[in-house]
Amino acid sequence: MRFANPLLSAPVLAAMLCLSLLAVAPRAAAAGPAIGSIPPPALGKDASGKQVSLTAMRGKVVVVAFWMSSCGYCLREVPALDNLQKQLATSGLQAVAVNTGDGKKDYGEMLRQMRGYSLVLAHDLGGTVVEDWGVRMYPNLWVLDPEGRVVAHHEGYAEDALPGILAEIRRIVAAHQPVPAS
Protein backbone atom coordinates (compact mmCIF):
# COMPACT_ATOMS: atom_id res chain seq x y z
CA MET A 1 0.00 0.00 0.00
CA ARG A 2 1.38 3.40 -0.98
CA PHE A 3 0.67 6.64 0.84
CA ALA A 4 0.68 10.05 -0.80
CA ASN A 5 2.60 11.52 2.13
CA PRO A 6 5.78 9.54 2.92
CA LEU A 7 5.64 10.76 6.55
CA LEU A 8 2.34 8.91 6.95
CA SER A 9 3.68 5.40 6.46
CA ALA A 10 1.88 2.41 7.94
CA PRO A 11 4.25 2.21 10.98
CA VAL A 12 3.87 5.93 11.65
CA LEU A 13 0.08 5.71 11.38
CA ALA A 14 0.04 2.69 13.71
CA ALA A 15 2.18 4.54 16.25
CA MET A 16 -0.10 7.59 16.02
CA LEU A 17 -3.14 5.39 16.61
CA CYS A 18 -1.56 3.76 19.66
CA LEU A 19 -0.60 7.13 21.11
CA SER A 20 -4.09 8.50 20.56
CA LEU A 21 -5.61 5.48 22.31
CA LEU A 22 -3.24 5.94 25.24
CA ALA A 23 -4.24 9.59 25.45
CA VAL A 24 -7.95 8.72 25.50
CA ALA A 25 -7.73 5.84 27.99
CA PRO A 26 -6.60 7.93 31.00
CA ARG A 27 -9.33 10.50 30.36
CA ALA A 28 -11.97 7.78 30.37
CA ALA A 29 -10.56 6.27 33.57
CA ALA A 30 -10.23 9.72 35.16
CA ALA A 31 -13.98 10.35 35.29
CA GLY A 32 -14.03 9.50 38.99
CA PRO A 33 -16.83 8.13 41.11
CA ALA A 34 -20.35 9.16 40.16
CA ILE A 35 -22.94 10.49 42.59
CA GLY A 36 -24.50 7.44 44.25
CA SER A 37 -21.47 5.21 43.71
CA ILE A 38 -18.96 3.90 46.21
CA PRO A 39 -15.48 5.32 45.51
CA PRO A 40 -12.19 3.42 45.84
CA PRO A 41 -11.41 2.93 49.54
CA ALA A 42 -7.68 3.76 49.52
CA LEU A 43 -6.83 7.37 50.37
CA GLY A 44 -3.06 7.19 50.73
CA LYS A 45 -0.92 6.83 53.84
CA ASP A 46 -0.94 8.70 57.13
CA ALA A 47 2.17 10.23 58.75
CA SER A 48 3.15 6.87 60.27
CA GLY A 49 2.92 5.13 56.88
CA LYS A 50 -0.33 3.33 57.64
CA GLN A 51 -2.91 3.03 54.82
CA VAL A 52 -5.91 5.37 55.23
CA SER A 53 -9.08 3.60 54.09
CA LEU A 54 -12.70 4.65 53.75
CA THR A 55 -13.74 1.18 54.90
CA ALA A 56 -12.72 2.09 58.46
CA MET A 57 -14.94 5.21 58.29
CA ARG A 58 -18.23 3.54 57.39
CA GLY A 59 -21.10 4.80 59.48
CA LYS A 60 -19.88 8.40 59.28
CA VAL A 61 -20.39 11.21 56.80
CA VAL A 62 -16.94 11.50 55.21
CA VAL A 63 -15.52 14.56 53.50
CA VAL A 64 -12.51 13.86 51.27
CA ALA A 65 -10.62 16.96 50.16
CA PHE A 66 -7.69 16.67 47.77
CA TRP A 67 -5.06 19.39 48.14
CA MET A 68 -1.50 20.37 47.30
CA SER A 69 0.78 23.01 48.74
CA SER A 70 0.87 24.94 45.45
CA CYS A 71 -2.91 25.50 45.67
CA GLY A 72 -3.27 28.64 47.79
CA TYR A 73 -7.00 28.16 48.14
CA CYS A 74 -6.50 24.56 49.30
CA LEU A 75 -4.24 25.87 52.06
CA ARG A 76 -7.18 27.94 53.35
CA GLU A 77 -9.74 25.18 52.81
CA VAL A 78 -7.97 22.49 54.88
CA PRO A 79 -8.02 24.55 58.13
CA ALA A 80 -11.73 25.32 57.54
CA LEU A 81 -12.40 21.58 57.19
CA ASP A 82 -10.39 20.91 60.34
CA ASN A 83 -12.55 23.43 62.20
CA LEU A 84 -15.69 21.72 60.86
CA GLN A 85 -14.26 18.36 61.96
CA LYS A 86 -13.78 19.68 65.48
CA GLN A 87 -17.34 21.00 65.55
CA LEU A 88 -19.07 17.92 64.10
CA ALA A 89 -16.92 14.94 65.11
CA THR A 90 -19.43 13.87 67.75
CA SER A 91 -22.21 14.17 65.16
CA GLY A 92 -20.60 11.59 62.88
CA LEU A 93 -18.36 13.63 60.56
CA GLN A 94 -14.93 12.47 59.43
CA ALA A 95 -12.93 14.87 57.27
CA VAL A 96 -9.89 13.60 55.36
CA ALA A 97 -7.37 15.86 53.63
CA VAL A 98 -5.44 13.96 50.94
CA ASN A 99 -2.23 15.67 49.86
CA THR A 100 -1.04 15.01 46.35
CA GLY A 101 1.66 16.41 44.15
CA ASP A 102 4.01 17.15 47.05
CA GLY A 103 7.14 15.14 47.78
CA LYS A 104 7.95 13.67 51.18
CA LYS A 105 9.98 16.70 52.30
CA ASP A 106 7.32 19.29 51.43
CA TYR A 107 4.56 17.10 52.84
CA GLY A 108 6.54 16.63 56.05
CA GLU A 109 6.83 20.39 56.40
CA MET A 110 3.07 20.76 55.86
CA LEU A 111 2.42 18.12 58.54
CA ARG A 112 4.53 20.08 61.02
CA GLN A 113 2.42 23.15 60.30
CA MET A 114 -0.78 21.12 60.75
CA ARG A 115 0.20 19.67 64.10
CA GLY A 116 -2.89 19.59 66.28
CA TYR A 117 -5.32 19.12 63.39
CA SER A 118 -8.07 16.64 64.15
CA LEU A 119 -9.01 15.70 60.60
CA VAL A 120 -7.26 12.72 59.02
CA LEU A 121 -4.23 13.67 56.94
CA ALA A 122 -3.21 11.32 54.12
CA HIS A 123 -0.49 11.50 51.47
CA ASP A 124 -0.91 10.20 47.94
CA LEU A 125 2.78 10.14 47.05
CA GLY A 126 2.45 8.10 43.87
CA GLY A 127 -0.68 9.79 42.52
CA THR A 128 -2.71 6.57 42.32
CA VAL A 129 -5.47 7.87 44.60
CA VAL A 130 -6.06 11.03 42.56
CA GLU A 131 -6.04 8.93 39.42
CA ASP A 132 -8.59 6.48 40.86
CA TRP A 133 -10.80 9.38 42.00
CA GLY A 134 -10.48 11.25 38.70
CA VAL A 135 -9.13 14.43 40.30
CA ARG A 136 -8.34 16.85 37.49
CA MET A 137 -8.39 20.21 39.26
CA TYR A 138 -8.13 21.79 42.69
CA PRO A 139 -9.80 22.39 44.99
CA ASN A 140 -11.57 19.03 44.84
CA LEU A 141 -13.94 17.89 47.58
CA TRP A 142 -16.20 14.84 47.88
CA VAL A 143 -18.90 14.10 50.47
CA LEU A 144 -19.88 10.50 51.25
CA ASP A 145 -22.89 9.29 53.21
CA PRO A 146 -22.54 6.81 56.11
CA GLU A 147 -22.92 3.89 53.66
CA GLY A 148 -19.89 5.18 51.74
CA ARG A 149 -21.76 6.50 48.68
CA VAL A 150 -20.89 9.81 47.01
CA VAL A 151 -23.60 12.37 47.74
CA ALA A 152 -21.78 15.52 46.59
CA HIS A 153 -18.72 16.52 44.60
CA HIS A 154 -17.25 19.99 44.15
CA GLU A 155 -14.23 20.80 42.00
CA GLY A 156 -12.52 23.95 40.84
CA TYR A 157 -14.75 26.19 42.92
CA ALA A 158 -13.92 29.72 44.01
CA GLU A 159 -13.11 30.65 47.59
CA ASP A 160 -16.48 32.36 48.06
CA ALA A 161 -18.17 28.97 47.51
CA LEU A 162 -16.68 27.47 50.69
CA PRO A 163 -19.33 28.77 53.14
CA GLY A 164 -22.06 27.17 50.99
CA ILE A 165 -20.14 23.89 50.77
CA LEU A 166 -19.61 23.84 54.54
CA ALA A 167 -23.34 24.52 55.04
CA GLU A 168 -24.13 21.64 52.66
CA ILE A 169 -21.87 19.32 54.69
CA ARG A 170 -23.64 20.41 57.89
CA ARG A 171 -27.03 19.59 56.29
CA ILE A 172 -25.80 16.16 55.17
CA VAL A 173 -24.48 15.37 58.65
CA ALA A 174 -27.77 16.55 60.21
CA ALA A 175 -29.79 14.43 57.77
CA HIS A 176 -27.93 11.31 58.89
CA GLN A 177 -28.41 11.77 62.61
CA PRO A 178 -30.33 8.99 64.35
CA VAL A 179 -33.89 9.92 65.19
CA PRO A 180 -34.39 9.77 68.98
CA ALA A 181 -36.85 7.12 70.14
CA SER A 182 -40.06 8.57 71.52
Q: Is the pLDDT of residue 109 over 80?
A: yes
CB-based contact 86:55 (threshold 8 Å): no
Distance (Å, whole) CA 92 – CA 177 = 8
Dihedrals phi, psi of 120, to nearest 5 degrees: -80, 130
Residues 17 and 106 in one domain: no
Residues 8 and 51 in one domain: no
Residues 170 and 126 in one domain: yes
In a domain, residue 182? The reply is: no
What's the structural domain count of the chain? 2
Residues 38 and 18 in one domain: no
In a domain, residue 180? The reply is: no
Task: Tell me the mean pLDDT in the region 65-70.
Answer: 92
Q: What would the pLDDT profile of 27-61 be if each residue is shown by its tens digit? A: 344 578 999 999 999 999 998 999 999 999 999 99
Q: Is the pLDDT of residue 13 over 50?
A: no
Residues 51 and 21 in one domain: no
Cβ neighbours around 99 below 10 Å, total: 24
Residues 56 and 19 in one domain: no
Give the CATH number for residue 153.
3.40.30.10
Residues 80 and 5 in one domain: no
Residues 6 and 96 in one domain: no
Domain membership of residue 7 as a residue range = 1-30
pTM for this one?
0.81
Residues 105 and 15 in one domain: no
Task: Tell me the mean pLDDT in the region 170-179.
Answer: 91
Residue 90 pLDDT: 95
β-strand pairing of 120-124 with 93-100: parallel
Residues 80 and 161 in one domain: yes
